[in-house]
Amino acid sequence: MLTYVFLGIFVFYVLLSLFMLPFSYRHLVALKEMEAKNKLKGKTQGEMYDRMNAGELMLHENAQGNPIFLLTNILASIMYRVKHPKN
């Protein structure tokens, strides 16, 4: 019985991660574009985060630092690396 509960929780977690994957991927792409623009201006990544307003900073912290989204973030990173390989 306990096995079914854990299996159900695991299946729910995987489905939630797959549902959140497009949102996490879009957030990652936008973040990478912002980093590239700031790099062209000669600014570091730390300066980019210092110049973010509080709302953007909290959104980024919650999207990237929340342990619930760990699988989603890993899958989004893998997807980004496959679609945007380094030359």
Residue 9 lies in a domain: no
Query: Model-level pTM?
Result: 0.82
Residue 79 lies in a domain: yes
How far apart, in whole angstroms, are the C-alpha atoms of residue 43 and residue 22?
28
DSSP per-residue codes, 75-87: HHHHHHHHHS---
pLDDT in tens, the chain (87 residues): 899 999 999 999 999 999 999 999 999 999 899 889 988 988 888 888 888 888 888 888 888 888 899 999 999 999 999 999 885
Is 24:69 a contact under the CB 8 Å cutoff?
yes
Tokens at 15, concatenated: 């489905």
Q: Whole domain around residue 34: which residue ranges?
A: 22-83
- Please state the domain count of the chain: 1
Residue 48 lies in a domain: yes
Residue 13 lies in a domain: no
Residue 62 lies in a domain: yes
Residue 5 lies in a domain: no
Residue 74 lies in a domain: yes
